[in-house]
Structure 1
Amino acid sequence: MRHFLRTSSLSLASLIIFVLALLGQSFAGHAYNNEELMQHGQAPVTYIDFVTSSDFLVDVAENWQSEFLQFFLFILATIWLIQRGSPESKKYGDEGTGTDEEQMVGAHARADSPRWAKVRGVRLWIYSNSLLIAMGTVFLLSWLAQSLAGHVVANQENAQHGVPLETWGDYIVSPDFWNRTLQNWQSEFLAVGAMVAFSIYLRQRGSSESKPVGVPHHISSVESE
């Protein structure tokens, strides 16, 4: 157990922080939602009612979809695009998907390589792109959940103000939906771009996301190995 905790500490720490942050969001969101209800002369809702409501789901889903879109596009971009000096980038000349030998697939697979790395055809293609497939799938499902929950919330507000209800199709092309969506996208891609650029010139000793402290700015961590 101690060995597992040490060798999985990064994943476990991320999971714990995620759960605590989600719980914190649910408690704060519940309190804020009840404050708004009381200001409009309505009865407060229970915590369980709130965390199972469209109000809570839309706030969670709109953040999830932007995070997974960020990683999906960044992983895809780093196949073909490079940034000289950034540890987030391959070195110049290594663009592309790589050869079977470089990727250790098929006849070039090792004895301890994953089973699907040793096969050919559709299974190898799926496994070779499984990270993008997983990230893209979670993004699409989160975006769908955001649109469905946001549609319910929007119609609840329309009903309160005597405005005609709108269809799901109307909602997903509405300013409200795209305002929720784009305000998350712009912040995510700003963070990614800043990470790529800052890591050229700045260092964090001991972090795998940084080049060694003494490596010149124009060299990536891949080239320094």
Structure 2
Amino acid sequence: MIYLRREVMEMIECQNVSVMYNNEVEALKKVSLTIMGPTITGIIGPNGSGKSTLLKAILGMTRSTGKISINGVSSKKMLKKIAYVAQKNLIDLSFPITVRECVALGTLPNLGLFKSVRKEDWRRVERALEVIGLRKEQERQIGALSGGQFQRVLIARCLVQDADYLFLDEPFVGIDMVSENIIIKILKDLKKRGKTILIVHHDLSKVEDYFDQLVMLNNKIIAVGATSNVFNMQNLKRAYGENIFIDRSE
């Protein structure tokens, strides 16, 4: 698949963003941050710290207060430029759809109302399947795939959409290392071509290898910035507590 590098600097900005759920639990507390792209930015923090909520707030999927903008425009007006991959456990794998058809869903944001997938779009689907190494699996039902294979299918759908921004919620949970390595290689390549990528992530041992920037949360901002500056034990203890342990044995 061929992409042209974009030299435009991208910016995602949140100003005093808060999210309150129905049980009056404040999932995000006055979060202010600026993410400059192109980038692969990791969003890390303990369970329940608001990582997924932050993505959903930017996407307008959950009600929030404060201001959220992308390149100075309300993020709600930029949704066609964003590809979103939810956690796998939120996706119905029993739905009767083939790998090829699932990847082709990435064309829909760029099609007009009631328009069918065009020949050139199907060619993009074929190229995306080649990139993720699943072209031979394209007629299989998505429910027959392994967790890693299905996650690669979701990445292929993002490739077909060719969005400027990719939001991925825990994409590496429960997948094999082959799939994880393929996915991170693709994401790094997309970053080089000007994409801005946000990833909710839990495995601290991979942070320094995967991300050039970090957002560290515990319902409020703990630290934001270059990974080399903010990924340190002082900030980790503030986010996770004094008993934080990072296994770098792999």
Question: Is TM-score (shorter-chain normalized) higher than 0.5?
Answer: no
Instruction: Name the one with the larger helix percent.
Output: 1
TM-score, normalised with respect to structure 2:
0.24
TM-score, normalised with respect to structure 1:
0.26
Query: Which of 1 and 2 has greater Rg?
Result: 1
Instruction: Name the one with the larger strand percent.
Output: 2
